[in-house]
């Protein structure tokens, strides 16, 4: 309710304009940015608090299961793409005393993440990597054991997801593992949950970026296939409805 009231309510007056233009026309109610992600650290205080609480409410409940799975691979270096506030990186560092994490994100968001990391005493093992993932020529970190993307790819259009996954694939070794944590509306146990995820897709249209959504899993997996990656394991119903995809480079 806080997310709806503080972030979405005024913006939804611009929904028709957003649909017609394919741009987040409602975002101007909060600030002048091309997408909401560029302005997360600068949102009005109440909107910022509600946005992050909404985002973390779902992902945080999945952490115990996810950490056990990821560290079964005994990774030494994890690349967290779209690291946001650094929560996942800090969870990893708290779970394993040797792992190093590189957070890939927009520069303004990295400033927030690295402050949080420093406050928790993990600054020596967490490294910032400023990047715009929509830039096809964007260089990425090298030689990571695990690549992690949590609630990240739903922030992009299908063609943008393909670009990002191809960029990641170009940096993989045969031993690298890619994990994608997502909410798919067709992978929910209850109709009400599917309805809610589809309704939340209006936020992506009107506020976030104008061209993304919570995807149907079959549509998403087609993009994965096209990128040169393959799903080696899929786990549904994690936490409050997440799906974890474990990917490898196609041989």
Compute the C-alpha angle 23/192/10, nearest 5°: 35
Tokens of 19: 């649909």
* Residue-level pLDDT, tens digit, the chain, 251 residues: 999 999 999 999 999 999 999 999 999 999 999 999 989 889 999 999 999 899 888 777 788 889 999 999 899 999 999 998 999 999 999 999 999 999 999 998 899 999 999 999 999 999 999 998 888 888 899 889 999 999 999 999 999 999 999 999 999 999 999 999 999 999 999 999 999 999 999 999 999 999 999 999 999 999 999 999 999 999 999 988 999 999 999 97
- Are 96 and 74 a contacting pair, CB within 8 Å? no
User: Tokens 């799906």, residue?
Assistant: 243
- Are 119 and 112 a contacting pair, CB within 8 Å? no
Sheet holding 229-238, edge to edge: 126-130, 100-105, 77-81, 146-150, 177-183, 242-249, 229-238
Separate counts of helices (H) and strands (E) for the chain: 9, 7
Distance CA 153, CA 165 (A): 9
């Amino acid at each position: 309710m806080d997310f709806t009231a503080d972030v979405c309510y005024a913006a939804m007056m611009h929904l028709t304009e957003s649909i017609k233009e394919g741009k987040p026309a409602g975002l101007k109610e909060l600030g002048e940015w091309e997408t909401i992600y560029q302005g997360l650290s600068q949102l009005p205080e109440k909107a910022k608090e509600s946005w992050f609480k909404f985002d973390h409410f779902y992902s945080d409940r999945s952490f115990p299961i996810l950490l056990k799975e990821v560290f079964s691979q005994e990774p030494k270096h994890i690349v967290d793409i779209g690291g946001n506030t650094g929560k996942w990186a800090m969870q990893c560092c708290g779970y394993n005393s040797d792992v190093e994490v590189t957070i890939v994100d927009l520069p303004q968001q990295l400033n927030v993440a690295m402050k949080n990391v420093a406050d928790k005493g993990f600054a020596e093992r967490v490294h910032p990597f400023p990047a715009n993932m929509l830039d096809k020529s964007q260089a990425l970190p090298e030689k990571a054991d695990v690549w992690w993307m949590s609630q990240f790819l739903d922030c992009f259009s299908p063609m943008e997801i393909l670009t990002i996954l191809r960029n990641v694939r170009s940096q993989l070794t045969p031993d690298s593992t890619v994990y994608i944590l997502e909410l798919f509306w067709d992978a929910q146990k209850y109709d009400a949950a599917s309805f809610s995820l589809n309704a939340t897709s209006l936020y992506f249209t009107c506020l976030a970026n104008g061209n993304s959504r919570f995807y149907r899993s079959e549509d998403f997996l087609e993009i994965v296939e096209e990128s040169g990656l393959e799903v080696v394991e899929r786990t549904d119903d994690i936490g409050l409805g997440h799906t974890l995809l474990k990917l490898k480079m196609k041989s």
